[in-house]
Homo-oligomer: A and B are copies of this chain.
Amino acid sequence: MSELSDSTYHSLIAGENVPGTRGLFRATDPSTGQKTGPEFSLLSKGQLEAAAMAAGEAFPAYRALTPEQRSSFLRTAAEKIETSGEQIIATAMSETGLPRPRLQGELGRTVNQLRLFAKVVLEGDHYGARIEHPLPDRKPLPRPDIRQLKLPLGPVGVFGASNFPLAFSVAGGDTASALAAGCPVVFKAHNAHPGTSQLVGKALIAAVAEHNLPSGVFSLIYGPGQDVGQALVKDPRIKAIGFTGSRSGGLAILATANARPEPIPVYAEMSSVNPVFVFDSAAKSAQELAQGFITSLNGSAGQLCTAPGLLFLAEGEVGDSFVKEVSNQLAEATGVTMLTPSICSARVDGEKKLADIPGVHPVGYGTAGSTENAPAPAVYFTDVKTFIGTPELSEEIFGAVCLIVRYQHNDQLKAAVHSLEGQLTATLHLDTEVTEDLGAAQDLLPHLEQKAGRILVNGWPTGVDVGEAIVHGGPFPATSDGRSTSVGTLAIDRFLRPVAYQNLPERLLPEALKEANPWLLARRMNGENQPAPERRGA
């Protein structure tokens, strides 16, 4: 059941419904395989231009907002989404098969994220304001007055992910950080949850209207990725791209962006197997550890960018007992409905390919779920030599499939780490009171730092906490640009660039750099960090 009425819905370009000329489509309820909800029209490539143009036109006014204005807009956006929360969740349930508690949590995360960025914007550290006063007597040359500020890049194209219909979708992290930075957003909805996208898009558009912002600040478009998506990346008004999805999708966008007359930054979060390193001092708590592992693996049907797809375990009795425990507990686990039939079939094919590789053997399986598209979770094992010699074994299978790699000594472990590509996460499990394992972990850590964006100890990588210190990123191919994060407040930096102002009179200086500091920013002043003055009413 969809919560949207039975009419046809369209792309929302600069506040207007724009019927697409590329045909109609409907969402699929993955638990039944049946079409669900109303019809949506797809844009043709040529229709995309209007959204990019509106974003370009909105940019000068939107970037000129004061921190208070932009912050207040983000808070309104959060409120509008919350107000439609029940309708959004019901629609998302029918379009994604995700259970209500998961979607409730995701809605909370989405609005909290917008509010967190509202706080970041108000505080204004992201402006990176630096001031160097003139030194007329400096030898051999006087120093001019030079001031530095970070400015938004321009309109950003964002592609919604399949697996988080809220937190990595219409008003998700990429949109929130781009809007916070001062960049209008043209958002290409994922076709797996068009109704959810429509509802969240309307909430954003209502916030744009309530703040009397130019309507081009936000547009939502439906269209085929290879066509309208590519046109979005190519449009000269678009100055950066945010994307969460498959490696092939991300690489296609990256290639297009690099081939533009003016190449633009692409922040594509793509592919990660999230290695977990279980030392014997942890493996001996087999029951508890196996429980945490299977929960992390099978939650959301393993359709999380940070799902543990690879687990390293020493050979020997302790490890054997842990593997046995995994096998036993896995037999009790039930498959969960996957997001779309095509994601499910890619996962099933991926598992088949894995199982057929010589030297790979099953640890055990769960049971398939009772709905459509709910394959049984599965764990396999292999030895470290086979792993290192078979690059396909480190490829991501998007779903609840994990490979356990058994090794004999720590040098093999290090060699295996070196053979890995870049990862979103790496996780260590050990009893830190056991000197041998602590030493091994200390030894491994610098290698993991070169491979991953986040390192965990005695936890599980799924469940990304949105805050100031989180990194959801990592070296290629975890992302296309390992210098940033797509979750957390640091994400605002992705959409900024520095500009210096030399000898500008006070009247021509941007507010953030005026001598009187009207925006009450913390600034770097003549080589010293200067704290923010007390904010009015704070």
Task: Tell me the A residues contacting B by CB distance below 8 Å.
Answer: 60, 64, 105, 108, 119, 125, 128, 130-132, 140-141, 143-144, 146-148, 151, 153-154, 254, 258, 262-263, 265, 421-422, 428, 432, 438, 441-442, 445-446, 449-450, 452-459, 463, 465, 467-471, 473, 475-477, 480-485, 490, 496-505, 507-508, 522, 524, 527, 529, 531-532
Contact = CB atoms under 8 A, between A and B. Distances in A.
Contacts of A482: 153, 497
A490 B498 contact: yes
B507 A456 contact: no
Contacts of A501: 454-456
B146 A465 contact: yes
List 9 A-B pairs, minimum CB-CB distance, nearest first.
A471-B500, A148-B469, A454-B500, A456-B502, A146-B469, A130-B469, A132-B469, A483-B497, A262-B476
Nearest to A421: B262
- Residue among A132, A428, A455, A481 with max Cβ neighbours from chain B (10 Å): A455
A98 to B, nearest CB: 16
22 contacts: A105-B141, A130-B468, A130-B469, A141-B463, A144-B465, A148-B469, A148-B471, A151-B449, A254-B258, A262-B422, A262-B476, A263-B476, A265-B481, A455-B502, A455-B504, A456-B501, A457-B503, A457-B508, A459-B502, A471-B498, A471-B499, A529-B529
Contacts of A454: 499-502
A474 to B, nearest CB: 8
A116 to B, nearest CB: 10
Given A108-B140, A453-B499, A500-B470, A529 B531 contact: yes
Contact of A505 (B131, B432, B498): B432
A457 B456 CA distance: 50
A167 to B, nearest CB: 14
Given A148-B470, A262-B476, A459-B503, 13 more contacts: A119-B527, A131-B469, A141-B463, A146-B465, A146-B470, A254-B258, A254-B263, A454-B499, A454-B500, A456-B502, A457-B502, A468-B524, A471-B499
What is the oligomeric copy number? 2
A500 B468 contact: no
A455 B146 contact: no
Contacts of A151: 449
Nearest to A506: B432
B499 A262 contact: no
B105 A140 contact: yes
B132 A467 contact: yes
Contacts of A458: 503
Contacts of A421: 262
- Residue among A105, A454, A469, A496 with max Cβ neighbours from chain B (10 Å): A469
A469 B531 contact: no
Contacts of A119: 527
A347 to B, nearest CB: 25
A452 B503 contact: no
B500 A143 contact: no
A468 B132 contact: yes
Contact of A446 (B64, B465, B477): B64
A442 B253 CA distance: 37
A455 B531 contact: no
A312 to B, nearest CB: 17
A438 B507 contact: yes
A131 B532 CA distance: 20
A504 B432 CA distance: 10
A497 B476 CA distance: 12
A475 B152 CA distance: 12
A441 B508 CA distance: 8
Contacts of A154: 450
A432 to B, nearest CB: 5
Contacts of A483: 153, 265, 496-498
Given A449-B499, A522-B529, A504 B263 contact: no
A503 B456 contact: yes
A438 B507 CA distance: 9
Given A131-B469, A446-B64, A529-B531, A500 B141 contact: no
- Residue among A148, A153, A505 with max Cβ neighbours from chain B (10 Å): A148
A197 to B, nearest CB: 24
A466 to B, nearest CB: 10
Contacts of A140: 105, 108
A148 B472 CA distance: 11
